[in-house]
Amino acid sequence: MVLLNFTFLKKKTEFQDFAEICIEAEKGLMVSPSSCAMLTRRALEQAVHYMYKNDIDLQMPYRDNLSALVNEYTFKQIVPNDVYEGVKYIVKLGNYATHTNAKVNREEAVLALNNLYRLISWINYSYGINYQEQLPKFDPAKLPDQTHMFVNKDLKEQIREILTKQKEKEAKQKEELARVIAENVELRKQGAAKRKEEKAVEYIDVNNALEWQTRKLVIDLQLKEAGWDFDTNVQVEFPVHHMPTESQDGYVDYILRGRTGKIIAVIEAKKTSANPRIGRNQAKLYADCIEKEYGLRPVIFYTNGYETYIWDDMMYPDRRISSIFSQDEIQLLIDRRDTRRSISKPVIQDAITNRYYQKEAIVRTCEDFEKGSRKALLVMATGSGKTRVAISLVDVLTKADWAKNILFLADRTALVRQAKKSFVNLLPSLTTCNLCENKDDPEVSRMIFSTYPTMMNAIDETRRKDGNRLFTPGHFDLIILDESHRSIYNRYKDIFDYFDALLIGLTATPKDSISMNTYSIFDLETGVPTYAYEYEKAVKDKYLVSYHSYETKLKFLEEGICYDDLSEEEKEEFDTLFPDTDTIESSQLNKFIFNLNTIDTVIRELMEHGIKIEGGDKIGKTIIFAANQDHAHKIKERFDVLYPEYKGKLAEVITFNTKYAQEAIERFGKTDSYPQVAISVDMLDTGIDVPDIVNLVFFKKVRSKSKFWQMIGRGTRLRKDLFGPGDDKKEFLIFDYLGNMEYFRVNKNAEKSGIIESLSQRIYKLRVDILYALEQNATDQDYVDEINKQIKEMSDYIQSLNEDSFNVKLRLKYVHQYKNPDNWRNLNEMDTHYIKDELSSLVVIHDEDTQAKFFDRQMYMIEMAYLNHYDATSVINNVVAIANELYKKQATPDIARNAEYLKCAKDPDYWKTANYFDLEVLREKIRGLVKYLDPGPIVDPVDTHFEDEIIETKMNDAFYNDEGLENYKEKVQHYLKAHEDDEAIYKLRHNQVITPDEMKHLENLLWIDLGSKDDYRLHFGDTPITRLIRKIVGLDRQAAMAEFSRFLDDQSLNSRQIHFVELLVDYIVKNGFIEDKKVLLQDPFKSIGSMSALFKDKMNIAREILKTVDTFSERC
């Protein structure tokens, strides 16, 4: 008879829900480790169901499957952290065994059983009847193996039957779980009380997984998740020879084999506490040995389980990745060593991109990729064809086998749809899928289009037909980020940290602030993108149109509405509508107070002065940027009143709240279709491509530079024959009523937007700072107790994170470090930096009372101010106001019970003497009361009929956002190389003397057009312009050969002497001239001997050669 670890459960009547399946899971080892893993997962599910049925503190998640149940916040809070780690392992291994054809080994199955035993031991301790002592330690010696199959030959069939029956029971069990939870409230309260009661002995986890869960098992499971099979294509401790050691032998931690059996990768694994980079050189030596012995250089991986690096040293330097690649992904890297073709001179289809700057952008990107860069940022004016450039790059990179799978990301579904349409039209053979629509199969699609939030979810949830994750870290070869000044910061940056792909960013308005720097995402110097083509340049090239601005100041929008300034009749209306005030601030207008005459004035100005089509009979396509939804609908209403002859078709509201908004945008985009005027709130600020637009109306205040220029970009596109045959669109008009043009004319670098953090993230970061400050102030036991309390709460949040989520995995090192409470003690500045920067965005503070969370934040701000001795008067005033309002509501029992705390909080003097502990008590007592505050008054929109007045109107010329995005040195180098056919540059490159006029032209070019004389001196010192140009553009080979031909044709020279002359030609072609003859003593010249030795019998010829060398420097 086989003795089993879980047999004790037969005597525990309270655990009969899961006793049998636990015992069967252990027996599963007799059949196979995979069967054991699946049964262990089923046993876990039954045990977890038991907990939910018997503990009121466990809240049902949004779904009732096992993954959702164990990842629910309250479950993580209740189960000890080490036990919970084991629970996650069971789920992961069980899913792996169920959904893939690969095998589980015995060691992994035993670890899963051990982890199940640990959970059952804790359940027994927490909920068991007559609990007296710990269960015995899990004993691997009791575990059966497949030899026991001979004792019971029917066991294999029995296990299969159990698995089948368990699957059939699942739906029934879920229904029962929901019913029991709903009906047995009292039972669940008793279970929670039982768990919380004081026990005679303390719970000890005698089966701690640290004895079992080695680094090797963690990496093994990661490999299996990537599709690797230890029976066929993975070997551990693989012997190699030719190591630079005394024995010349070594052992590779892991080798991975391709489909043909060849070794395609090596993995060097270091302990988790070690920096994985210490294994870099060792892994390289292993790769050297394998290449020498088997003829193929493998891809190198090195990892400590938290951080993984890839080094395909025939293609790129090493770089960090999120996980080890699959077999197909590594094989593709190997294959591309032979199949990937050069893109230094890309073949660009004119049918896609035929403008010079588009081709320059493509060439520059390809050149950078060819040199080894993996990121490129293209800054191109709105309307200049960024999407077409992206399409050409995809065409070039796919044809040259640089990219197979591509991801296109944008922040709005309309932009995703628009981009997909463009790609399909111009690259019809490319299979595509829009993840936002769920119409196409992403598994068979080469190019995926998605918004950032959709892709965040898809990484974890989208599966292949075999059940494995589709979007693995190596799935995409290229990621294109549209409008990459937005959405690429904070949490969405995780997407392209997760995928190991070439990265191309497209934007017209890069950000360069410290917190939001577009350039840093692409590893570029601020202000120096891969390529820039700005608005003013595009206007000069006649690829975009410029504008004039019609800037009007209206009295009410500037000064507000003052009672004393109104007519007698208007005063009567004012008294009726606003009896308690004599002034309406300008900021209140167009929020809930709409003065119809103000709106009418704006509409009439547009209709009278706006650009018209059809011979002046119809207003051209126009966007009005409204302040809010009510404002937009009021504008629409006034259009219909003022111009009834259009029967409501002239203007239309198009916002995110508009039903069938995309259909409305498409109608607006058609020349011969209404509406002519689109009234928008945010939706049409960016991304919309309607060349017919000739009028923009700013009827709201904008203070974000990038948003402002994106809005202007709606009007910049060319439109042929807009006004009739041969009469093209030449400009557009901007009507501005809120001073936006003047603001950005003066404040060209104004930028008000920043990274948007969730409320949970802001609170968590505050609490990190508070804990740090408390530890600095820990002077007595009260502080010590508070610190311990805070440490438990803060580390619990980290413990509750779902480590199967891809963005948590990216930070697993910090998750594991800071879920340990001990690592929160004696925090230093680096600790707080890592927690706030790496972990705070992952934390979700589960509290349905959002008002309470907002109150918490205000109180934490005050506590921070107290601990760090700075002023918080404005926040204190907010809390005083809240306390005053609540104090008036003592008819509410909750408020009456806490009236004394409210009385303190509403007294301004109280805050002068309160300490940290007083503040915490106030926070805890009042946070639950703020829900009783009256929601702000719901103000119905008010229409007024006061006569507004135009103070002034100015017609101004265009100004531009151009910032000279490449630094001066970069601009000079790029311009000279791109304009080698310029007559003066051509002459210098061909060793010809330039004229004084040509010299003046070059000075203007470098000292005026491309920058200033100071810029030149800063970057190039006293170098003469002609010499600089020759250095940069080099010398034409034919021109050099012409000067040296007499030596090359001299039959008296031997082969080594002629080779020396050829080396001179090569050097001068590349460098333009020889500035210092000392180079002749260096490589490559010295490799064939010194000139004096080479020409010792022909020194006269040597002198002639040197004179010829001098002519190149004399002519520049």
- Three-state secondary structure along 373-385? CCEEEEEECCCCC
When pLDDT is averaged across residues 699-724 and rounded to a whole number, the result is: 92
**What single letter denotes the amino acid at residue 491?**
R
Residue 207 has pLDDT above 80, yes or no: no
Residue 362 has pLDDT above 90, yes or no: yes
Q: Regarding predicted confidence, which is higher, 307 or 62?
A: 307
> Which residue from 790, 786, 791, 857 is spatially nearest to 821, judged by alpha carbons?
791
Intra-chain end-to-end CA distance of the chain, in Å? 98
Residue 211 has pLDDT above 50, yes or no: no
Instruction: State pLDDT tens for residues 13-67.
Output: 899 889 999 999 998 888 888 889 999 999 999 999 999 999 998 888 766 788 8
Distance of CA 941 to the CA centre of its chain: 40
Cα-based distances in Å from 758 to 140, 322, 400, 889, 1063: 47, 25, 43, 31, 63
Residue 1 has pLDDT above 50, yes or no: no
Residue 675 is assigned to a structural domain of this protein: yes
Domain of 645? Answer: 546-746
The pLDDT value recorded for residue 162 is 61
Residue 333 is assigned to a structural domain of this protein: yes
The pLDDT value recorded for residue 260 is 93
**What single letter denotes the amino acid at residue 830?**
M
Residues 730, 770, single domain; the answer is no
Q: Taking every pair of C-alpha atoms in the chain, what is the biggest distance, in angstroms?
A: 116
Q: Report the interhelical angle of 106-127 vs 16-27 (nearest 10°).
A: 160
Confidence of residue 630 (pLDDT cuts 50, 70, 90): very high
Q: Report the C-alpha gap between 286 and 300 in whole angstroms.
A: 9
Q: Write out the two tokens for 650.
A: 């002239």
Confidence of residue 157 (pLDDT cuts 50, 70, 90): low
| Report for 314-318, 334-338, 458-462: range of highest mean pLDDT | 334-338
The pLDDT value recorded for residue 439 is 81
Cα-based distances in Å from 667 to 417, 621, 690: 16, 11, 10
Residue 966 has pLDDT above 60, yes or no: no
The bridge status of strand 561-562 relative to strand 583-584 is antiparallel
Q: Which residue has the tokens 């003022």?
A: 642
Residue 365 is assigned to a structural domain of this protein: yes
Q: Regarding predicted confidence, which is higher, 952 or 1010?
A: 952
Residue 121 is assigned to a structural domain of this protein: yes
Instruction: State pLDDT tens for residues 658-697.
Output: 888 889 999 999 999 999 999 999 888 877 889 999 999 9
Residues 363, 310, single domain; the answer is no
Q: Report the C-alpha gap between 114 and 117 in whole angstroms.
A: 5
Residue 146: Cβ within 10 Å count: 13
Residue 961 has pLDDT above 70, yes or no: yes
Residue 580: Cβ within 10 Å count: 4
CB 834 within 8 A of CB 814: yes
The pLDDT value recorded for residue 150 is 41
Residues 685, 811, single domain; the answer is no
Q: What's the CATH code of the domain at 419? A: 3.40.50.300
Distance of CA 636 to the CA centre of its chain: 38
When pLDDT is averaged across residues 1054-1073 and rounded to a whole number, the result is: 88
Residue 962 is assigned to a structural domain of this protein: no
The pLDDT value recorded for residue 151 is 43
Rounded to the nearest 10 degrees, how much is the dihedral formed by the CA atoms of 553, 555, 559, 565? 170
Residue 960 is assigned to a structural domain of this protein: no
Residue 880: Cβ within 10 Å count: 16
Instruction: State pLDDT tens for residues 225-240.
Output: 888 988 899 999 999 9
The pLDDT value recorded for residue 460 is 87
Confidence of residue 396 (pLDDT cuts 50, 70, 90): very high
Residue 999: Cβ within 10 Å count: 14
Helix (H, G, I), strand (E, B) or coil at 562: strand
The pLDDT value recorded for residue 1048 is 83
Confidence of residue 209 (pLDDT cuts 50, 70, 90): very low
Residues 163, 242, single domain; the answer is no
Residues 440, 373, single domain; the answer is yes
- Three-state secondary structure along 105-125? CHHHHHHHHHHHHHHHHHHHH
Q: Regarding predicted confidence, which is higher, 967 or 87?
A: 87
The pLDDT value recorded for residue 210 is 45
> Which residue from 1076, 1106, 1116, 1107 is spatially nearest to 991, judged by alpha carbons?
1116
Q: Report the C-alpha gap between 890 and 896 in whole angstroms.
A: 5
Residues 578, 438, single domain; the answer is no
Residues 518, 440, single domain; the answer is yes
Q: Count the domains in the chain.
A: 7
Q: Which of 79-83, 395-399, 1013-1017 comes out lowest in average pLDDT?
A: 1013-1017
Residue 536 is assigned to a structural domain of this protein: no
Residues 908, 982, single domain; the answer is no
The pLDDT value recorded for residue 62 is 62
Instruction: State pLDDT tens for residues 850-884.
Output: 899 999 999 999 999 998 888 889 899 999 999 99
When pLDDT is averaged across residues 534-541 and rounded to a whole number, the result is: 91
The pLDDT value recorded for residue 349 is 95
Q: Which residue has the tokens 């006029």?
A: 997
Residue 133 has pLDDT above 90, yes or no: no
Q: Regarding predicted confidence, which is higher, 1093 or 749?
A: 1093
Q: Which residue has the tokens 């992206």?
A: 390
> Which residue from 1007, 1014, 1024, 1018 is spatially nearest to 1075, judged by alpha carbons?
1024
Confidence of residue 421 (pLDDT cuts 50, 70, 90): very high
Percent residues over pLDDT 90 in the chain:
47
CB 58 within 8 A of CB 75: yes
When pLDDT is averaged across residues 393-415 and rounded to a whole number, the result is: 94
Residues 706, 645, single domain; the answer is yes
Residue 938 is assigned to a structural domain of this protein: no
Q: Is the dihedral of CA 135, 141, 147, 148 positive or negative?
A: negative
Residues 651, 580, single domain; the answer is yes
What's the DSSP call for residue 658?
Answer: S
The pLDDT value recorded for residue 307 is 84
Q: Which residue has the tokens 């898809």?
A: 458
When pLDDT is averaged across residues 443-459 and rounded to a whole number, the result is: 93
When pLDDT is averaged across residues 543-565 and rounded to a whole number, the result is: 95
When pLDDT is averaged across residues 1052-1076 and rounded to a whole number, the result is: 88
Please give the mean pLDDT across all residues of the chain.
87
The pLDDT value recorded for residue 334 is 95
Q: Report the C-alpha gap between 480 and 416 in whole angstroms.
A: 12
Residues 598, 648, single domain; the answer is yes
Q: Write out the two tokens for 699.
A: 């009827």
Residues 794, 917, single domain; the answer is yes
Beta pairing partners, 266 = 255, 300
